[in-house]
């Protein structure tokens, strides 16, 4: 599973609307397809063959490293080592941005959720920057984070590795891979995407010290280029309002029942589209519980992800799982808030 921050269907729609040239989008589309074909087996091996993370190689003493893939593609990953744990800042801002945001994400998982890296066992966080040429995407490839530079049309140059919510989102795909393993398909895939947005936003909120009321609840806020017009890639507070092509629903009545037929336009059955519904449920829970979202709402969602959700869980199961986690962690009042929030987005 390769999880891109920019859904492929948006790339196609931008080309169709004339915002970008189709020929400019083709390298990104081809890279996406090649990566999918090449990397799918690793995730499947970990998740479906029941590999135990504890049996994997011993944790490295150095938790993070950033590489420069120097404009190369997936065959060149990870590239040339530029900065590792304990090193000072490097002369390339992209390297430092990827490093610092991986650090913030690592600290969030350790300090707030008691989780030691994506696998819970100290797996080294590897990032590569300068993927492709003007590549308008960032992704978790099943083993590491990868960041393109952005062309300026869809994302501002340098913005993907610089945005804490984007980095937190991508690293969380690794956490999902090693916990519930939510299949990247229809509702379980939309839950996978939503978990990545939830914890991507929480890493940013934790870094900035913002309460639920102060947070912007945006994924990729302020990083869009000239042709994707709006405030962010996604809004958890108001799904469907982030940019001109945003068609995320905020309620089940607008659920997009798309096929998972391999057509990139259909987004694995709407995984980046219907994620608006669980995103809104989390936003409602966090703001109703009040205070810092990571202290209660975040711990509830993480407990459900790590101990209750499974590969094929759907929205209804997620509602029940988060309510049960709320009950056990914080009692009946919190569970009531969780249930009411899911009910308000049409899930019960
Ligand atoms: Zn994603």
Residue 330 CB: number of other CB atoms within 10 A? 18
User: What architecture is domain 3-178?
Assistant: Roll (3.10)
pLDDT tens sequence across 308-346: 999 999 999 999 999 999 999 999 999 999 999 999 999
Asked if 12 contacts 265 with a C-beta cutoff of 8 angstroms, the reply is yes
* Centre of ligand 1 from the C-alpha of residue 332, in Å: 32
- How many Å apart are CA 164 and CA 63, to the nearest integer? 18
Which of 130, 173, 243, 272 is the catalytic position? Answer: 272
The reply to whether 3-178 and 186-344 are identical in fold is no
Backbone angles phi, psi at 308, to 5 degrees: -125, -40
**pLDDT beyond 60 at 36:** no
Question: In angstroms, how far is the first alpha carbon of the chain from the final one?
Answer: 29
Q: Is 193 a catalytic residue?
A: no
- Residues around ion ligand 1, judged by CB within 5 A, are 3, 196
* Centre of ligand 1 from the C-alpha of residue 176, in Å: 11
Asked if 233 contacts 243 with a C-beta cutoff of 8 angstroms, the reply is yes
Average pLDDT, the chain: 90
Give me the pLDDT at residue 126, please: 93
pLDDT tens sequence across 183-212: 999 999 999 999 999 999 999 999 999 999
CATH fold of the domain at 186-344: Neutral Protease; domain 2 (1.10.390)
* Centre of ligand 1 from the C-alpha of residue 5, in Å: 5
Confidence at 161, pLDDT banded by 50, 70, 90 = very high
Cis peptide before 226 (omega within 30 of 0): no
* Centre of ligand 1 from the C-alpha of residue 270, in Å: 12
Query: In sequence order, which ranges of the chain are alpha helices (DSSP H)?
Result: 8-16, 22-48, 93-113, 159-162, 164-178, 186-208, 267-270, 276-289, 297-307, 315-330, 332-344
Q: Is 62 a catalytic residue?
A: no
Rounded to an integer, the average pLDDT of 147-152 is 96
Which of 170, 173, 206, 317 is the catalytic position? Answer: 170
pLDDT tens sequence across 252-291: 999 999 999 988 899 999 999 999 999 999 999 999 999 9
Query: Residue ranges per domain, the chain?
Result: 3-178, 186-344
* Centre of ligand 1 from the C-alpha of residue 118, in Å: 15
* Centre of ligand 1 from the C-alpha of residue 192, in Å: 8
Give me the pLDDT at residue 242, please: 98
**pLDDT beyond 70 at 61:** no
Taking CA 279 as the corner, what is the angle to CA 306 and CA 147, rounded to the nearest 5 degrees? 80
């Amino acid at each position: 599973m390769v999880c891109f921050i920019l859904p492929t269907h948006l790339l196609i729609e931008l080309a169709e609307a004339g915002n970008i040239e189709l020929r400019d989008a083709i390298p990104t589309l081809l890279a996406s397809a090649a990566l999918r074909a090449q990397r799918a087996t690793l995730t499947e091996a970990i998740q479906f063959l029941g590999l135990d993370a504890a049996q994997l190689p011993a944790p490295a003493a150095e938790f993070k490293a950033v590489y420069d893939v120097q404009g190369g593609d997936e065959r060149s990953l990870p590239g040339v080592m530029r900065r590792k744990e304990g090193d000072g800042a490097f002369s390339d801002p992209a390297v430092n941005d990827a490093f610092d945001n991986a650090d913030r994400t690592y600290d969030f998982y350790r300090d707030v959720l008691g989780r030691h890296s994506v696998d819970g066992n100290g797996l080294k966080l590897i990032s590569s920057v300068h993927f492709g040429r003007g590549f308008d995407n960032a992704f978790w490839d099943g083993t590491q984070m990868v960041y393109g530079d952005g062309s300026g049309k869809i994302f501002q140059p340098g913005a993907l590795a610089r945005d804490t919510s984007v980095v937190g989102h991508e690293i969380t795909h690794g956490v999902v891979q090693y916990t519930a393993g939510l299949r990247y398909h229809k509702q379980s895939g939309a839950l996978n995407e939503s978990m990545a947005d939830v914890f991507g936003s929480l890493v940013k909120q934790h870094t900035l010290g913002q309460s639920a009321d102060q947070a912007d609840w945006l994924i990729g806020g302020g990083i869009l280029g000239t042709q994707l017009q709006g405030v962010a890639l996604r809004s958890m507070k108001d799904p469907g309002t982030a940019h001109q092509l945003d068609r995320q629903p905020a309620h089940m009545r607008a659920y997009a029942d798309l096929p998972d037929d391999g057509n990139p336009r259909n987004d694995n059955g709407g995984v980046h589209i219907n994620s608006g519904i669980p995103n809104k449920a989390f936003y409602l829970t966090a703001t109703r519980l009040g205070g810092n979202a990571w202290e209660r709402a975040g711990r509830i969602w993480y407990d459900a992800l790590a101990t209750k959700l499974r590969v094929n869980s759907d929205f209804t199961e997620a509602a029940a799982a988060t309510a049960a986690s709320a009950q056990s962690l914080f009692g009946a009042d919190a569970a009531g808030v969780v249930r009411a929030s899911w009910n308000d987005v049409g899930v019960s």
